[in-house]
Amino acid sequence: MKIYNTLTRNKEEFIPIDPEQIKIYVCGPTVYNYFHIGNARPFVVFDTLRRYLEYKGQNVKFIQNFTDVDDKIINRAKVEGITPKEVADKYIEEYFKDAGALNVKKADVHPRVSEHMDEIIDFVKTLTDKGFAYEANGDVYFSARKFKGYGKLSRQNIDDLDSGSRIEVDDIKRDPLDFALWKARKSEDEIAWKSPWGMGRPGWHIECSAMAKKHLGETIDLHAGGQDLQFPHHENEIAQSECCNGVQFAKYWMHNGYITIDDEKMSKSKGNFFTVRDILKDYDGEVMRFFLLAGHYRNPINFADSLMEQAKNSLGRLRNAKSGLEHLIANGTDEPMDDEEKAAIAELEQYKAEFDAKMEDDLNTADAITALFGMVTAINNKIKNGATKEFAETALAKFVMLANVLGLLFESEDVISDEIKALAEERQQARKDKNFARADEIRDILKERGYSLKDTQMGVQIIKD
């Protein structure tokens, strides 16, 4: 597999450090609110990378952190009248609900900053002992200019970086580029931990370095996150990790592109700021996941209702192909596949090879989805005049396997309740009996519950609207 390595700005062969286990660290959310559509993109994209590697037989150790110590959490706690821990616990629980709706698998470990304070303090102490960091009035700062490679990820010349945007400005720092590893407590009611420099809490950047080291080791295969994290967050992670450990921090770096809203940057002040929880009121999570994977992960994508509708319709084609094959498995003939069906299966294998090739080429989910639709066309061409159960079972297994690599088709016939299925069957019988009043009544009941029925050559399909 080849991936675009942000560190080298080249597409490179992905070669794990240890073939027995691939170690991946993805930056997770700061848990003070519901996460927004921009956050959702890296969650979905790198969940898909993990799924693909596992599909290819790789053992992946996947870590995604929760930042549960932060000024935003402290401020939210004051607004809601609860403790910072209660805020973090609340929004971690809400994260799992929304991530589950997007079919994002849980990480092998979801480390929390508050549970790794010993590791963070030891990390900072090592940097001070080595002369890469210094204490000032209870704060500890990293000396950015002491790391020769500072700027190598974001390709910024250290001499061109001025204090200001995205640089922590503080009068007690020796250099505007220096960043906080540890922050002294400012008031008695502020959350803090005991340290060699007094009561305080960690800076933002140090947490990921300490937790990655704890759970994955000093050098990891791949670190990933949104494009906005390249500088300063990931740049600072590299600097402090490589100075502390004396070895390369991560061999490969992957960053996804931005999301705009109706071609404008998402902003609360513009009123175009959407959480995933907001969007789930109008679209199910699988539609959102399809939308996020329909473009190449490194390209910017635009969120708009029209594009979500397109995603919904396209996903409907995948769902219909699956339900059509399921119908044939239940109702098809028991004869063995004939030569025409065997040829159709061979065509599906060609689309599988195309799917794999596109995913191997820097996780090109957009073109992989095109290959999946090639499968749909081939399947529909074969089953429009009927097919054997053997063909349907073989085709379904191949089709669903690839869809599942993308995390799709997790909301389909298998999650429709028995009650809904019974209502659909009753409506069909009512129509046969020419009891159209009852058929219309059931149709309205199904519509209220978010379902519609579609007559096809394979029978009636239940569609989740």
For residue 392, give the 3-state DSSP assignment. helix
State yes or no: pLDDT of 454 exceeds 80.
no
- State the Cα–Cα distance between residues 427 and 436, nearest whole angstrom: 9
What 339-348 contacts at long range (C-beta under 8 Å, 24+ apart), as own/partner pairs, is 340/382, 341/382, 341/387, 341/388, 341/390, 341/391, 344/378, 344/379, 344/381, 344/382, 344/391, 344/395, 345/391, 345/394, 345/395, 345/398, 347/378, 348/375, 348/378, 348/379, 348/395, 348/398, 348/399
pLDDT digits (tens, 9 = 90+) for 32-56: 999 999 999 999 999 999 999 999 9
Architecture of domain 286-414: Orthogonal Bundle (1.10)
- State the Cα–Cα distance between residues 218 and 203, nearest whole angstrom: 20
- pLDDT score for 213: 98
Alpha helices in 102-248 (DSSP H): 117-129, 204-216, 235-245
Kindly state which CATH superfamily the domain 2-256 is placed in.
HUPs (3.40.50.620)
pTM value surpassing 0.85: yes
Domain range annotation of the chain: 2-256, 286-414, 416-464
Tokens, residue 234? 């990931």
| Mean pLDDT calculated for residue range 7-27 | 97
State yes or no: pLDDT of 457 exceeds 50.
no
| AA letter at 377 | T
| AA letter at 172 | I
- pLDDT score for 219: 98
Tokens, residue 379? 């399947």
* Rg (the chain; Cα; Å): 26
DSSP 115-126: G-HHHHHHHHHH
Instruction: Kindly report the average pLDDT of the chain as a whole number.
Output: 92
State yes or no: pLDDT of 464 exceeds 90.
no
Tokens, residue 191? 């959350």
Please state, in angstroms and as integers, the Cα–Cα distance from residue 7 to each residue in 86, 156, 248, 251, 255, following that order.
Answer: 38, 12, 12, 8, 10
Nearest by Cα to 399 from 336, 327, 349, 339: 349
Q: Where are the beta strands (DSSP E) in 118-239?
A: 133-136, 139-142, 179-184, 200-202, 220-226
State yes or no: pLDDT of 95 exceeds 90.
yes
Please state, in angstroms and as integers, the Cα–Cα distance from residue 228 to each residue in 166, 237, 319, following that order.
Answer: 11, 14, 34
Q: Report DSSP state, residue 375.
A: H
- State the Cα–Cα distance between residues 229 and 137, nearest whole angstrom: 28
Tokens, residue 256? 């996804």
pLDDT digits (tens, 9 = 90+) for 244-263: 999 999 999 999 999 999 88
State yes or no: pLDDT of 413 exceeds 50.
no
- pLDDT score for 165: 42
Query: Quick one: angle between helices 204-216 and 235-245, nearest 10?
Result: 50
- State the Cα–Cα distance between residues 390 and 337, nearest whole angstrom: 6
